[in-house]
Amino acid sequence: MPKENNPKTKRQDTNPHSDHRQRVFKKYDDSGFSHMYKHEMLEMILFYAIGRKDTNEIAHDLLKECNNKLLNVLKAPRKKLEKVDGMGKGAARFLNALGELFEYVKTEDPPKKLNSDTVCDIMSDTFKDTKREELHMFCLDPKDNIIKSECMNVGSFESSEVDLGKIMRFAVECDCAQVVLAHNHPSGIACASQADMTVTTLIEHTLNIVGIKVWDHIIYANGKCISIKNEMAKNKKQGYRK
C-alpha cells in the first residue's frame, strides 16, 4: 500500500509530538538514563501510558507536585497523580504499578552497602581485570546503600582530564546524599599521589555546591584499598606539626 494511502502512516504523521518522542528515545538508546534529566526519564516512561500528548509538561508538573523526586512520583497516591493536568486513571495506575514493582525488586536483591567492611570486596569486583586506570563514582543514600555507580573517567588522572560536569550531573540525577570515589592503580602501588589529592579536593568542592558529600576517595591496588581522605588528613596533621 502506498505511504500516502496507509491509514497507520497517516495516524503517525498527524501526531505533532512524534518527532520529539523519537529524539527522546534516541537519547535513551545512545546512553540510557545516565545522561537524561529526571523529567526526561519520567517523560519517556509516560510515552507508554499516554498517547498523542506532550508528556514533557506532564512530567514537569508531576515532579513539581512530588518535591522533584522520581521515587515520590512512583509512590504518590493515585488520586494525587490523577489531579495533574493530562494524567488519567490509566497513567496513574501505570506509575503506581512501577512503584510497587520497584519496591518488590528491592526485596529480591537488597542494596549493597558501601562501608569500611565491604569496600575492598566491592572495589575488587569493580576493578577486576581492569588494565587501565579508571575513576568510578558510587552514589549512596543516607544509609550507605549504593543507589548506582558508573565509570567517570578512563586513562590519565589529572584534574584537567576529569569531567566535573559529568560527575555533578550523575550525582544530582541519582538524587544521592553522598558519593564514594574510587580509582585503581594498575601498577599495584597503593599510594596516593598529589594529583589524587588535588582531584579529590576539586570534586569535593564541586559537589558541595549541590549539597552532596564526598564520603571518601578510595585507591584500589593489588587487592589493597587505601583512603585518600585519610592520607590527606595525615598530611595536614604533619604539616601543622612542622
Q: Is 131 exposed, middle or buried (0-12, 13-18, 19+ CB in 10 A)?
A: exposed
For residue 179, give Cα distances in angstroms to 2, 47, 77, 93.
56, 32, 31, 34
Non-local (6+) Cβ contacts of 204 within 8 A are 214
> What would the mean pLDDT of 134-140 be, rounded to a whole number?
95
The pTM of this model reads 0.56
Read off the pLDDT band of 38 (50, 70, 90).
very high
Domain boundaries, the chain: 3-108, 119-241
Q: Is 114 exposed, middle or buried (0-12, 13-18, 19+ CB in 10 A)?
A: buried
- CA pair distance 33, 170, nearest whole angstrom: 10
- 32-36, 42-46, 108-112: segment of lowest average pLDDT: 108-112
- The pLDDT assigned to 130 comes to 87
Read off the pLDDT band of 240 (50, 70, 90).
very low
State the CB neighbour count (10 A cutoff) for residue 200: 21
- CA pair distance 91, 85, nearest whole angstrom: 12
Residue 12 has pLDDT above 80, yes or no: no
- CA pair distance 124, 143, nearest whole angstrom: 22
- The architecture of the domain spanning 119-241 is 3-Layer(aba) Sandwich (3.40)
Read off the pLDDT band of 239 (50, 70, 90).
low
